[in-house]
Amino acid sequence: MNTIFSGIQPSGDLTLGNYLGALKNFIPFQDTHECYYCVVNQHAITVPQEPAQLHARTTELAAIYLAAGLDPNKATLFVQSEVPEHALLGWVMITTSYVGEMERMTQYKDKARKQGDSIPLGLMTYPPLMAADILLYQADLVPVGEDQRQHMEITRTLAERFNYRYGEVFTVPEMWAPKGGARVMSLQEPTKKMSKSDDNRTATIYLLDETDDIVRKIKRAQTDSESVIRYDKENKPGVSNLLSIHAAISGKSFAELERDYDGQGYGTLKKDVADLVVGELEPIRRRYHELVGSPELGRILDEGRDKAHAKASVTYRKAVEAMGLYR
């Protein structure tokens, strides 16, 4: 059985982008692959976090994974910091990386710009830690949104570089991105990605938003003055974003949607998109509230940690033996 690894940072309230780009797609893989899904809290600390909030968000994110349909009998769900091999192999991957290639990462450049003069070094060494996450499980496939493409390319480069230097230790993983929903855009500035860290909460649909908020935010979404429903990312980013959200949930193609909405106004499209999003998120929100404080959640994460550790420790040992680090 092929192996899947993916992770989400507990660095803010999860968005519809995280859901359609990543989480929703994790679920079907659990029937066909050996799956490891992780709360990557050590990635979250690459920018300052308030400890109590980080602690709470870690279990909240685990509850969201389960509420979205992750079955702990099929997939392994765990917290990154509880499996020490992530940080250990992360160091190995840092020593396999070059400063120049890290400085070229667009996410690093974007995030560093927001930090002023004191740029945390962890922002730069973020990709080698992500590579370590994936390589520890010998993952074949990594389901992520489009914004992770550069990080996936560097992961492949580091795996190949390591294997070339020290012998074939790591599986070189492939990225898997969904056809619709791989890049959900801000509802207010549709040329910008929808993000957990956007200060404008009207621009973002959060996974746990109440129905009224979802409807209101979609109603207010930026469109254009042309009044034609057509997928055209360049010239009609707002309408195209609504069509992508529709497609990611309804499973329809853009051609089908353009036919369905021929002659209709933006109001109709917005109402239908809001109905689809509410229909998708409402059951998740309900299950989340049942799960979040339950003792079962702790048990699932304990078991997940043990299963993840069993696999990660084998790979880590192989890697350090190959490098001559094991006496």
The only residue of 24, 57, 111, 151 in contact with ligand TYM, by rule CB under 6 A? 151
Question: In this complex, which beta carbon is closest to ligand TYM, that of residue 6 or of residue 315?
Answer: 6
Q: Helices 51-67 and 295-323 sit at what angle, rounded to 10 degrees?
A: 100
Among 3, 4, 7, 76, binds ligand TYM (CB under 6 A): 7
Eight-class DSSP state of 148: G
Asked if 297 is part of the footprint of ligand TYM (rule: CB under 6 A), the reply reads no
Token digits of residue 229: 């429903």
219 is catalytic: no
Closest-CA residue to 218 (of 22, 64, 14, 16): 16
Residues 171-190: x/- map of binding to ligand TYM (CB under 6 A)? Answer: -----------xxx------
Stretch that binds ligand TYM, among 15-23, 220-228, 287-295, 307-315 (CB under 6 A): 15-23
| Burial (CB count <10 Å: 0-12, 13-18, 19+), residue 284 | buried
| Residue 74 a catalytic site member | no
Is 193 a binding residue for ligand TYM by CB under 6 A? The answer is yes
193 is catalytic: yes
Contacts with ligand TYM: how many residues (CB under 6 A)? 26
Q: Which of 126, 266 has the CB closer to ligand TYM?
A: 126
- How many angstroms separate the Cα of 63 from the Cα of each of 213, 265, 284, 326? 22, 38, 10, 38
Q: Closer to ligand TYM at the Cβ: 72 or 128?
A: 128
Minimum distance, C-beta of residue 306 to ligand TYM, in the bound complex (Å): 20
Pattern 26-65, ligand TYM, x by CB under 6 A: --------------x--x----------------------
- Residue 279 and residue 5: Cα distance in Å, rounded? 28
Q: Which of 13, 17, 57, 297 binds ligand TYM (CB under 6 A)?
A: 17
74, 196, 271, 307: the catalytic one is: 196
- Residue-wise DSSP of 150-208: HHHHHHHHHHHHHHHHH-S-S---EEE--SSSSSPBPSSSTTSB--TT-S-GGG--BTT
Q: Judged by CB under 6 A, which stretch of 19-27, 62-70, 261-269, 297-305 contacts ligand TYM?
A: 19-27
The one segment of 16-24, 48-56, 66-74, 267-275 that binds ligand TYM by CB under 6 A: 16-24
Which C-beta is closer to ligand TYM: that of 223 or that of 244? 244
Q: Which residues of 88-101 are buried (b: 16+ CB within 10 A; e: fewer)?
A: bbbebbbebbeeee
Handedness of CA 151, 34, 250, 216 (dihedral sign): negative
Sign, CA torsion 308/313/319/320: positive
* Strand, coil or helix: 142: strand
Residues in 103-142 at the binding interface with ligand TYM, rule: CB under 6 A: 130, 133-134, 142
User: If you search the block for the tokens 């803010």, which residue do you land on?
Assistant: 12
Query: Is the Cβ of residue 147 or residue 275 nearer to ligand TYM in the bound state?
Result: 147
Q: Give, in degrees to the nearest 5, the angle at Cα 294 between 29 and 12.
A: 65
The catalytic residue positions are 111, 193, 196
Residues near ligand TYM (CB under 6 A): 5-9, 17-18, 20-22, 40, 43, 130, 133-134, 142, 144-145, 147-148, 151, 182-184, 193-194
